[in-house]
Amino acid sequence: MEMTTRPVRSNHRHSLWYERLLLSFRIHYFLGLILTVSLPALWEWGWSVWTLQNHDAGTTLLASAIAWMVAFRTVRQLSRHPGAAPDTYVIPVVIAVYLMILALLTLLSIPFSPWQLVASGVLALIFGYAGYRVTRRYRRRKMAIVPLGNVMSWFDHQDIDQRWLEGPDLGNLRVDGVIADLSCDLSDEWQRFLADCTIKRIPVHDARRFGEASTGRIGLDQIHANRYGSLMPRTSYELFKRLADLVAALLMLPVALPIMGVAAIMIRRDDPGPILFRQRRSGFQGEEFDVYKMRSMYVNPDDVRPTQEGEDPRITRVGKYLRKYRIDELPQLFNVLKGEMSLIGPRPETPALTEAYERDIPFFRYRHVVRPGISGWAQVEQGYASEVEGSRIKLEHDFYYIRNFSFWMDLLVVIRTIRTIFTGSGAR
């Protein structure tokens, strides 16, 4: 059988030398390192800084370099997961990293130049944000799609420039990669085409895996026997996460307790009754436990009439703000200390809802393979969901979190949660 597929030549997008230089992360990394380390030092110490006779200058040079490297690597790791654009992570990550370096040097009484380090942080913010912002439009992926198999059911992402192929030939089209349903029976021509793409360094992506990485969800209809065990979280990270939960909860309590004290006074003044309430939830490995929350509903909700359409009349006036800014969740820090919950993980459901969802949604019980969390990937991506279809989507987000169970995934959820707290979005 004669092959008609034309060899793939120069079809890889951004393959020209100047494109590779301008859009290279490594170039941005080393250029940013030079600028953020050297410019503040030259501004404060002049050219004599390179003699390293001044210990303050040498220490600050090293601290600035470490801060830039940690911040850049962190943003790169966070941007591997779907969600907000990478430039939105630059500001919180850079500020957090430089503040930690500043605090560490101060606590250890290591001599350094505060203004030099602050200037380095400001330059890191400007250069990092501008670099991601300017190249953002050019990094929007252009993907060629092989129109065979179940590619549409596994891949439907609007943020990507999609180019559907009419045959096994890219022509003059320059793309970042090719998406195909690799589980279907491809003809010899299509197989040769995909092989040529790989040879010419054009990535070939499986539609199912590409869809998961693009949407942050693992479709329930895509889970079958030989993939079920692949969702097992890494046990090595579980121990580290448990220790991190304990340390973080203990550090947060001195700040959280005064806030809960003020909230308790407001709750009692708004509607007399208990300040805290317990609710039975299904947790880690299916074990039930009592979750603690600050009361945000009236003691006798039947006596309350609706005030505005769409609002829950059972929620008190204070309760609306407690829920909006997630203050009602603060008592769950004690659940974290007891080992019943984690700071980050799938939100726990009531046993009744769990039983109902298990009847309607396949694999729902599998979300109990990790500890439930105060916040989670489904909450920051989707928000509140109560109906069955919404819970299916939430479960798909939970499965994505379990499959990508890692420090970077938890850090991403923490950043998104902090933004949610300050904006009050997604509250109910």
SS3 at position 131: helix
Over residues 240-263, the mean pLDDT reads 95
Give tens-digit pLDDT for 398-424.
988 988 899 999 999 998 888 877 766
Cα–Cα distance, 339 to 333 (Å, whole number): 10
146 and 179 Cβ atoms separated by less than 8 Å:
yes
Cα–Cα distance, 113 to 92 (Å, whole number): 23
156 and 211 Cβ atoms separated by less than 8 Å:
yes
| pLDDT value, residue 319 | 87
Which residues, at least 6 apart from 261, have a Cβ–Cβ distance to it below 8 Å? Answer: none
- What value does the mean pLDDT of the chain take? 82
Backbone conformation region of residue 424, classed left if phi is above 0, alpha if psi is from -120 to 50, else beta: left
Lowest-pLDDT choice from 17-21, 31-35, 51-55, 114-118? 51-55
> What confidence tier does 242 reach under pLDDT thresholds 50, 70, 90?
very high
User: What percent of the chain is modeled with pLDDT above 90?
Assistant: 30
296 and 323 Cβ atoms separated by less than 8 Å:
yes
How many other C-beta atoms can be found within 10 angstroms of the C-beta atom of residue 296?
23
| pLDDT value, residue 226 | 44
347 and 379 Cβ atoms separated by less than 8 Å:
yes
Give tens-digit pLDDT for 89-110.
888 999 999 999 999 999 988 8
Reply yes or no on whether the pLDDT at 88 is more than 90: no
Which residues, at least 6 apart from 203, have a Cβ–Cβ distance to it below 8 Å? Answer: 176, 177, 178, 197
Give tens-digit pLDDT for 162-197.
888 988 988 888 888 899 988 888 888 999 999 988
| pLDDT value, residue 158 | 60
∠ Cα 36 41 46 (to 5°): 140
Torsion, Cα of 113, 115, 120, 126 (10° steps): 170
90 and 421 Cβ atoms separated by less than 8 Å:
no
pLDDT higher at 227 or 72? 72
Reply yes or no on whether the pLDDT at 1 is more than 50: no
Reply yes or no on whether the pLDDT at 153 is more than 80: no
As given in the structure block, the two tokens for residue 38 are 């050297």
404 and 370 Cβ atoms separated by less than 8 Å:
no
H or E segment and range at residue 216: none
Give tens-digit pLDDT for 364-387.
888 888 999 999 998 888 765 555
* HEC-encoded secondary structure of the chain: CCCCCCCCCCCECCCCHHHHHHCCHHHHHHHHHHHHHHHHHHHHHHHHHHHCCCHHHHHHHHHHHHHHHHHHHHHHHHCCCCCCCCHHHHHHHHHHHHHHHHHHHHHCCCCCCHHHHHHHHHHHHHHHHHHHHHHHCCCCCEEEECCCCCHHHHCCCCCCEEEECCCCCCCCCCECEEEECCCCCCCHHHHHHHHHHHHCCCCEEEHHHHHHHHHCCCCHHHCCHHHHHHHCCCHHHHHHHHHHHHHHHHHHHHHHHHHHHHHHHHHHHHCCCCCEEEEEEECHHHCEEEEEEECCECCCHHHCCCCCCCCCCCECHHHHHHHHCCHHHCCHHHHHHCCCCEEECCCCECHHHHHHHHHHCCCHHHHHHCCCEEECHHHHHCCCCCCHHHHHHHHHHHHHHHHCCCHHHHHHHHHHHHHHHHHCCCCC
